[in-house]
Each structure stands twice: as C-alpha cells, then as structure tokens.
A = this chain, B = another copy of it.
Amino acid sequence: MPEKRYLLTPGPTPVPPAVLAALSEQVLHHRGPDFREIYARCLGRLAAVARTEGDVLLFTTPGTGALESAVANVLSPGDRAVVVSAGYFGERWAELVDAYGGDLVHVRYAWGETPEPADLRLALADAGGARAVFLTHSETSTGVVVDLPALAAPAREAGALVVVDAVSSLGAVPLETDEWGVDVVASGSQKALMAPPGLSLVAVSPAALKAARGSASPRYLLDWERTRRAQEKLDPPVTPAVSLVRALDVALGLILDEGLDAVFERHVRLGRACREGAKAMGLELFSPDEDRSAVVTAIRAPEPVDPAELLLVLRDRFGIQLVGGQGELKGRIFRIGHIGWFDVFDVATALAGVELVLAELGAEVDRGRAVSRALEVYEAPMGSFTGAGRREGSV
C-alpha cells in the first residue's frame, strides 16, 4: 500500500488538521474549569447544529449508543414501536426494539426504496397505540435520504414520539429538529460532524424526556435523565472521552464558521458532482439521483466486476478507501461517501480511481469524462443545475 491514504467513506470520515491538533493536546480533568468551558461550548454548538432549543445529551459511545439510548429510554418492555426500514440501519432500529422487548411493528421496504408517509400513516392506524416511530433520516447503506418532515407528520398525528437516526445526516443535510417536531435526533461524531468516532448524541424534546422518566427498561450509562441532570451542572455523570469532546468542539466550530446553509449547499454540490461523474463514465446509480441524497452515492457494480475486487485494488494500490454494500447489498454495489471534511477533489480522486480500476477489471466505462464533469457540476451555480433525475445522457 502507498503511504498516502484517501478515506472516502461515509464514516468514519477524515478530520481537519485543527481537529487532529486538538486531539493531541494533553488530557484534561473532566471536572476542572478547562474542560467545563469546552464541554459547555460543545453542548451549545451541538444544539446549534441540531437546530434545537432543547437538550442535547452527549455520550461516549459509538453512534449506535445514541440509537440504543433512544430505545432504552423511550420504550418499556411491551410498548408498541413502529420501525420504518429500507436498509441496514433501519433494520438496526428493529434489532434494538427487539433487544429491549418492544412490541415491534415493522414497516419494511426493499433496501434502496424511499419510505412514503402514506404507508406509515396506514401502519400507524392499523397498529394503534404506538409509543414511538423510529425513522432513518439518511440510510447510509443505500444512499437514500428521506423527506423527514413529511414522514414525521403522520407519527405526530398518531401521538407517537418521532425518533430519528441522523447518524450520517446531521451536519450534512438540513434537519430542523424543533421546527419539524422531531422528538429525538440521534447522531455520532464521526460523519458529517468531522470528528473521530467515539462520541454520540441525542437531541431530546421535553416529551421524550418525560417518556424517559417513565421507562422501565434497564440502563445506566445511557440513562437520559441522569445525563441531563449532570450536564445541567456541567458535571459529567461519568468520565467522558475528554480528548474527543475537545476535538468535536473544534470541528463544530469549523462547521458553524462556514455556516450551516453553506455546509448544506457544499454537500448538495458534492453529491451532484459524484453522481454526475459516475453517470459520465456510464455507471448506473443505485442511490436516488436527487439533491437530497447528498450523504453517500451508491453505484451498481458494472459487469463483470466484483465490487469487492474493485475496493481491494483501490485500497492496496492507491490507498483509496471506499466501501461496498452492507447486508443483502454486498457484492452488488459500491459506495463513495462525501460528508464532512470533503471537497470536490476528494470526489474527483474517488471517480478517477474507480474509472481506472473498473476499466482494468474489464468493465466498459467511458474514460476521461468523469472528473471534468464532476468539477463542472460542482462549480455550476446552484439553481442552474438540471442534471438530477436524468440518469441518461446527462453529459
């Protein structure tokens, strides 16, 4: 393998130099004034990024810990829970509800489909009495980003709490927690938030906190009320990963300095560039060809290529790390991530490497068009772009 690495996956993502510099600072005591200042600022920045006036609870766990905390705090054993799934991470909600003894109502789509509000409305009416609806904002395994306010509406109408996996969407695509009436937004540090993995967070509404106080599910580390009370005093309930909190604080500062709207626009442009570049070399997209899908681009592996071989060659020869399909999509697709500390030349690197290796592996690809098309699309004024939705002949 060459020495240089290109981490072009939808998480963990590469982190900016200022974040690495913060990581390499000496460890601080978690109850001293140095850390308290960072902790307070980081929690405030998280609320700003999550667009909420409510509490954002921070945990030292992988993103899955935030998801698990939602299930453990919102549900008691036997509570009815509607899970909407259309991919690997949607299925994880179902696994978690099962693990905690919830009464699972599973609105299950084929992987890669986009969940529809009408289906959820029907399922909620059929089931009745759901305590919570578990949604996936960005299904990282397929590249689909759902229309979240449209999906949240029927859940709210049914009186259920709206719980959203935003692990790969928070900080990449718009998510108006308060305005859209989302009760729980669960996310992690290692994706669009541009920090290393190891921290997770939940933005929680007053209704969600009230439900948590009544939940009979066993939990300690992931208990919301204990965490909320401790955060209120800026006195962490247990020793947090102080170095990661410091790094996340710096990363959030960079995001807010760039401005959330600018960050979201950059992600739309990156998604356009990746999709148009892939199409320009004649590849077929698996993820939707629309601006909303700005997190990860999933591409069907062209005949006769095994995507596992493509990924291995890219990695071992060029140090380029992409990812394949998860679960039932293994062997059928490969994915290019473009969230967080990414610009168009990262996308260009991915496309250039893919183009070369696919050709070598015997696929028919149009050479020499992808990178220039990606840059052209990225640079075009936002409103002038008309490529989305046209899978053919877009160059």
Binding site for B on A (CB under 8 A): 1, 5, 7, 9, 11-15, 20-21, 23-34, 60-65, 68, 72, 77, 95-96, 99-101, 188, 190, 196-198, 217-221, 238-244, 315, 321, 323
Contact = CB atoms under 8 A, between A and B. Distances in A.
A217 B220 contact: no
B29 A7 contact: yes
29 contacts: A5-B28, A7-B27, A9-B29, A13-B27, A14-B26, A14-B27, A15-B26, A15-B27, A27-B196, A29-B323, A30-B197, A32-B315, A60-B60, A60-B65, A60-B198, A62-B221, A62-B240, A63-B239, A64-B221, A96-B220, A99-B219, A100-B218, A197-B239, A197-B241, A198-B240, A198-B244, A241-B241, A243-B243, A243-B244
A1 to B, nearest CB: 7
Nearest to A34: B5
A27 B197 contact: yes
Nearest to A195: B27
Contact of A62 (B7, B62, B238): B238
Given A218-B72, A218-B101, A220-B68, A63 B244 contact: no
Contact of A198 (B64, B72, B198, B323): B198
Per DSSP, chain A at the interface is: loop
Contacts of A101: 218
A63 B315 CA distance: 35
A27 B41 CA distance: 24
Contacts of A221: 61-62, 64-65, 68
